[in-house]
Structure 1
Amino acid sequence: MSQTVDRALSILPLLAQGPADLGQVADRLGVHKSTALRLLRTLHEHGLVYRQQDQRYRLGARLFALAQEAVENLDVREIAHPHLAALNDRTGHTVHLAVHEDGEVLYIDKVESRYPVRMYSRIGKPVALTVAAVAKLLLADLPEPERRALAVKLDYPRYTPRSTPDAAAFLQELATVREQGWATDLGGHEESINCVAAPIRGADGRVVAAMSVSAPNVVVTAEELLALLPQVRRTAEAISHDYSGTTPPKETEVSVDE
């Protein structure tokens, strides 16, 4: 990267902390005021910074518009799919991707198991909100007032003896999911199906989607599926970094007890 571009881009995080005058910008960059002024004028011409009446500079509206446009055009399914396929290739189990839209949690991608026993789920199909692992992750990320309002409105079907029985139990489970950063459905929807899930986060840390690995008991036990949780979490973190455009940290082992 050229020195001029590097210096110009260094101005943006400085102004993100609040308005700054020419001298402050020059001092931070370690350049003469004339150089700082030339950089600021170029950024101003493109709407990326704005000069206030008090002669201080702040971030420009064009920068926010570009950021919003970029977010709106991100396709989490397109970004996630290669990672989902790779996880499916390593484990052989069904991998799902889901989002929260208009009060429903919907599957938006699915990579089928390599085993003869297949799950009855399809892209576009809503999931069972009170038991599905992906739903727990997406709903756990809601602000507490929204979580409580939603919990009292929901019905709690007894799909199996392990289904969530009522609003109080659901809220407690969401609190646990929020704290630990992952979720399970161990026979809550179908007694023979188990699932582990992890969140996909945007640059602001909010959960934008959730991914899961599911398998029937005839293929692997619940304990064997839970042993895959570190892989599931690493995959979700890799998708999160691709989605938010951030550099992933050095790989560390993730344990179920974290």
Structure 2
Amino acid sequence: MKQQAYNQKPRTETVKKRTPRNESGVLVLHKTLDILEAIKNSPTGVSLADLARSVHMPKPTAYRITATLESRGYLDRTSEGCYQVSRKLFELQRTATDEQVVIRAAHPIMERLVESCQETVNLGVLDAGEVVVINTIESPQGIRMASKIGNRRYLHSTALGKVLLTGLPEREVLRLIRVKGLPRLTPNTLTTPSALKDELELVRERGYSIDNEENEANGRCLAAPIFGPYGRMVAALSVSGPTFRMTVEHAHSVAPQLLDACRSITQAITS
């Protein structure tokens, strides 16, 4: 390895201070948000010319941004050519709001479940054909299943994912299998549609799922569903631990506590 000489004169550089407004990408984002806010405040829609004037930007710039938003489905145009916020944007806002409601309702119940079970508890939702963790509280034990918010996992190999799959129509499950596949992560992973179908039937019958070292070796997990208004499954809650503590028998013995926690969260978000 080449050593740097101690008497070498350090190189100095002039660093230009940057602010968010200096960054072209962030500047475009500011302009996009300005446009969305202006359109949101005009329930009957706003023309391109009026929009450009209200946000103080050149008409061609306003057109490029609105055209992109329209092509992505976030803006609609009326028969008069005025721009309105689309249903898709409202759905995006509603989804984020729904998740925050679930997180707030679930957190204290998750804390009690961790205290009772002494294992890691995760809250997950279905997103783009995967399960994403939206809240987690890790076990206080020295050896534990680690997790963090934002983690994404396959549906077919996780307890959270298998529970969430039971809330979908069979045709949607088959579509996700075609798109995502059923990759083998461990020797225990379910890798055929028929095996997964049988497993989902079992999950529906007993009300919870078990990941028996299907996602990673030496880890076992169980999960149960959380329901929102009108009986729609909105999330799932899991308890996971290392297999030397979380034996199959112990996992089944934890299930009543997990199911009680899920019922409490469901009641909190629907009452």
* TM-score, length of structure 1 as denominator length: 0.64
SS in 2 for 1:98: strand
Shift in CA distance, 124/199, structure 1 to aligned 2, threshold 3 Å = same
Deviation of 1:71 (Å): 8.5
Q: Match for 1:239: what amino acid?
A: I
Q: Name 2:171's counterpart in structure 1.
A: 145
Shift in CA distance, 155/72, structure 1 to aligned 2, threshold 3 Å = closer
Q: Name 2:212's counterpart in structure 1.
A: 186
Q: Partners in 2 of 1:205 and 1:136 — Cα distance?
A: 18
2:269 equivalent among 238, 243, 253: 243
2:117 equivalent among 84, 91, 115: 91
- Aligned 8 A contact 1:94 1:213 in 2: yes
- Aligned 8 A contact 1:88 1:94 in 2: yes
- Aligned 8 A contact 2:119 2:240 in 1: yes
Q: Name 1:119's counterpart in structure 2.
A: 145
Q: Name 1:171's counterpart in structure 2.
A: 197
Instruction: Give 4+ residue runs of structure 1 displaced > 6 Å after superposition.
Output: 69-72
Does 2:132 correspond to 1:81?
no
- Aligned 8 A contact 2:129 2:176 in 1: no
Deviation of 1:237 (Å): 0.4
- Aligned 8 A contact 1:148 1:171 in 2: no
Question: Deviations 1:19-72 (Å, cap 9, x if unpaired)?
Answer: xxxxxxxxxxxxxxxxxxxxxxxxxxxxxxxxxxxxxxxxxxxxxxxxxx9997
- Aligned 8 A contact 1:215 1:225 in 2: no
Q: Partners in 1 of 2:197 and 2:177 — Cα distance?
A: 7
Does 2:266 correspond to 1:234?
no
Q: Match for 1:90: what amino acid?
A: S
Q: Name 1:199's counterpart in structure 2.
A: 225
Does 2:244 correspond to 1:213?
no
1:223 equivalent among 245, 249, 252: 249
Q: Match for 2:222: what amino acid?
A: V
Shift in CA distance, 116/149, structure 1 to aligned 2, threshold 3 Å = same
Unpaired runs of 5+ residues, structure 2, are 1-92
Question: Deviations 1:160-209 (Å, cap 9, x if unpaired)?
Answer: 21110212212222233233321110111122111111100012111100
The percentage of counterpart residues that share the same residue type is: 36
Instruction: Give the aligned CA root-mean-square deviation in angstroms.
Output: 1.9
Q: Partners in 1 of 2:140 and 2:209 — Cα distance?
A: 23
Deviation of 1:231 (Å): 0.4
Q: Partners in 1 of 2:204 and 2:97 — Cα distance?
A: 27
Q: Partners in 1 of 2:177 and 2:185 — Cα distance?
A: 17
Unpaired runs of 5+ residues, structure 1, are 1-68, 246-258
- Aligned 8 A contact 2:123 2:135 in 1: yes
Question: Deviations 1:57-105 (Å, cap 9, x if unpaired)?
Answer: xxxxxxxxxxxx9997442011100000000011110000000122221
Deviation of 1:218 (Å): 2.6
Deviation of 1:153 (Å): 2.8
Deviation of 1:149 (Å): 1.7
